[in-house]
A and B are shown apart, each in its own frame.
Chain A
């Protein structure tokens, strides 16, 4: 079974700090790497995504860093805010079927 390994399982960051979530994959056929954000009581929603032809993508305070040779990618949340408290899922695909990581519960404390 194709896997995407995500860490840490939970993360506590102070307001204003940097949150970093890491993911690793095995399947070299994967060519699209999205991150989904899920608030309590809601379904996941696409946050940001990257393709392997670039090493970094930034949207506001959210940045994906991608290391193709290491088969790793990470989400950085700069200036973390309490409103960023949510569960974050990395994912990967080489088709229309996404493989998700197990999720990271982020808590940003004031």
Chain B
């Protein structure tokens, strides 16, 4: 069964900590995405990658960075976590091209205290 796996379902961190969110996909997808989901705000794109070592900023990249050293793995990094980064983080992947289905992971609920 093909899937996108996010390393943690729940994560609690303290303000100022460096946080790593890991995502692995087993579909050999070229594209990978990080979204955050907040009530009433929907899904907002943080970063995406269309190839290994390539990355593009999404709509809300401030306070985040990403790493894609291998095709199957895409990491989201919070350099210095803040309380306004408390959110549900969703990773997704797809084949390249318009109209390709996004396959999402189950999400990581991050709480920054």
Please determine whether A96 and B50 come into contact, CB atoms closer than 8 angstroms.
yes
Partner of B90, one of A32, A43, A49, A93: A43
B27-48 interface (Cβ within 8 A of A): 31, 40-45, 48
B40 proximity list for chain A (CB < 8 A) = 9, 102
Q: For the side of the interface on A, what is the size category?
A: 20 to 34
Please determine whether B102 and A89 come into contact, CB atoms closer than 8 angstroms.
no
Bound CA–CA A19/B94 (angstroms): 29
A84-106 vs B: 1/0 string, CB under 8 Å?
00000100011111101111000
Please determine whether A44 and B90 come into contact, CB atoms closer than 8 angstroms.
yes
A39-79 interface (Cβ within 8 A of B): 41-46, 49, 51
Residues of B within 8 A of A (CB): 4, 31, 40-45, 48, 50, 58-59, 90, 92, 94, 96-102, 104-107
